[in-house]
Amino acid sequence: MHPKKQLLDDAAKLLLAELEGKELTARERNQIPLQEMATQDPSERILNMNEVALGYTEAQVRIEAMRCLQCKTKPCVKGCPVGIDIPAFILEAEKGNYAKAVSIIKESSLLPSVCGRVCPQELQCQMYCTVGKAKKDVEQSVSIGRIERFVADYTREHGLDEIPHVGDNSGKSVAIVGSGPASISAAADLRREGHRVVLFEALHKAGGVLVYGIPEFRLPKEIVEYELEILRKMGVEIRLNYLVGKTRTVDELFDKDGFDAIFVGSGAGLPRFLDIEGENSIGVFSANEYLTRSNLMKAYAKTNALTPMYRSKRVAVFGAGNVAMDAARTAKRLGAEVVSIIYRRTEAEMPARREEIAHAKEEGIEFLYLLAPKRIIPGEDGRVKEVEVIECKLGPEDEDGRRRSMMIEGTESLRSYDTVIVAIGNDSNPLIKATTDGIETSHKGTFIVDPSTCATSLEGVYAGGDIVLGAATVILAMGQGRKAARAMNEYLATL
């Protein structure tokens, strides 16, 4: 066990010995200290790609679960987009019934090991927790996500997960486009009803952003692979290197291949750029490309990488969301000496999770606030040499309630970089829309669906996840996949 984790475990075991078997009052529960989660030291972790957060030990998870007051009104459940019965699974964790805890979670969420790690809990379930509210500090809330992560890891590592029951062959077949969390959830729920389910993925690896976007140091890929293996064991067929819209159109999946219904979970993988001078220079990447090279093709493995990685010393990252943090922290691990996040607002407006910002800071990422890139200046060899930036100030709120950023003319200056990573957001890929007649989309290119069924304007075609919501979250994508599957199962029963 990692020495830091060992220390926390020793303390938790002592406390557990005191508390175990006692009828704890709410007051006593309130006094139990929040269990810290061990992390790799910053100096150690910037030299590897391994997971930063090391998870709870069994003693810690039981103590943390004891902090839950089992509130009758369950305010935390309101904060979970898929409505997991949080107090019920925490109670089972407190008793050490981890498999039971997981089965409660799985009634609502199929990917607890993933969501326990990457959900923005502090803005969802934990924001509503009575304990955090009483202490006027959301960080003091019961660590719902960490408990969820532990119980799911425990059942996986101890072989306690069961392959979901698959019903008798229904004679119907469903095509699923994409293999991210929306598609994984839809596939499982459709297969359970006995339909033939084929998942088509454009890339050579399944998992969507969970595999190609979120780095190993936040979400180990073996976890995603494990979930995909469960799908395979359920009989879901996964076809890789298959681009729907090119290899086969949506119409052809119906007419030539005989599918009865289609779920589109193609995500939001089209990177946005700033459209500034010099953005075509060598050494400018979208965060998507940069992260895909590193994650999917293991470009960080210097000796046996499947693709070369641009070697950088000074990296500028434009943007301040989770994707920007992931790109910056990846660049640091790939050996960059200076990595700067360049953001035109202040820390208060940054959309990234607080934990990710804190981790990035600990790892030595530089944060340059109230600064916007104006142009990228290449050297004679065409490679990035400098970035011209301009100072900004905050103005009134925009339509999203965030304070507008306004450039201050005459404050331009040059900063020296050899690499630029653009992480200012993603749009949906237009391929399916362009090759399918009759699919209604918004002005942003997202699919318009019936909010209660995820049905698109084309009969038999459903959609969910980022292709509908725009770049959103794993849990929301998963929730939509399940909602669509429910409606699709009803639709298929009518055929």
**Contact set with ligand SF4 (CB under 6 A):** 68-71, 74-76, 80, 84, 86-87, 109, 115-116, 119, 121, 124-125, 129-131, 142, 144-145, 148, 475
Residues from 168 through 187 that contact ligand FAD (CB under 6 A):
177-183
Decide: residue 45, CB within 10 A, 0-12 exposed, 13-18 middle, 19+ buried.
buried
Q: Which helix (H) or strand (E) segment is 468 a member of? A: helix 466-469
What angle separates helix 181-192 from helix 221-233, to the nearest 10 degrees?
Answer: 20
CB of 84 to ligand SF4, least distance (A): 4
The listed partner (ligand SF4, ligand FAD, none) that binds 194, CB under 5 to 8 Å by sort, is none
Q: Which is nearer to ligand FAD, 63 or 352 (CB)?
A: 352
- For ligand SF4, the closer of residues 63 and 250 by Cβ is 63
Inter-residue contact 387 to 417 (CB < 8 Å): yes
Sequence-distant (≥ 6) Cβ neighbours of residue 458 within 8 angstroms: 250, 436, 438, 439
Shortest reach from residue 285's CB to ligand FAD, in Å: 13
**Distance between CA atoms of 152 and 65, rounded to whole angstroms?**
15
How far apart are the C-alpha atoms of 489 and 264, rounded to whole Å?
A: 15
- Which of ligand SF4, ligand FAD, none does residue 429 bind to, with CB < 5 to 8 Å depending on kind? ligand FAD
Contact code string over 403-432 relative to ligand FAD, x by CB under 6 A: --------------------------x-xx
Interaction between residue 190 and ligand FAD (CB under 6 A): no
Q: What is the per-residue binding string for ligand FAD in 234-263, x denoting contact by CB under 6 A?
A: --------xxxx------------------
Of ligand SF4, ligand FAD, none, which one sits near residue 339, judging by CB under 5 to 8 A according to partner kind?
none
Total residue length of the chain = 495
> In the complex, what is the shortest distance from the CB of residue 107 to ligand SF4, in angstroms, rounded to a whole number?
12
Instruction: Write the secondary structure of 190-251 as one string of H (helix), E (strand) and C (coil).
Output: HHHCCCEEEEECCCCCCCCHHHHCCCCCCCCHHHHHHHHHHHHHCCCEEECCCCECCCECHH
- Choose among ligand SF4, ligand FAD, none what residue 245 binds, the Cβ cut-off being 5 to 8 Å by kind: ligand FAD
Q: Under a CB-based contact definition with an 8 Å cutoff, are residues 262 and 462 in contact?
A: yes
Tokens of 76: 């935390």
Of residues 45 and 482, the one with the C-beta less far from ligand FAD = 482
- For ligand FAD, the closer of residues 202 and 309 by Cβ is 202
Size of the site for ligand FAD (CB under 6 A): 40
- The closest of 243, 333, 337 to 295, measured between CA atoms, is 333
Of residues 140 and 185, the one with the C-beta less far from ligand FAD: 185
60 in Cβ contact with 35 (< 8 Å): yes
Q: Which residues bind ligand FAD (CB under 6 A)?
A: 118-119, 177-183, 200-203, 208-209, 213-214, 242-245, 265-267, 269, 291, 322-323, 326, 429, 431-432, 465-467, 472-475, 477
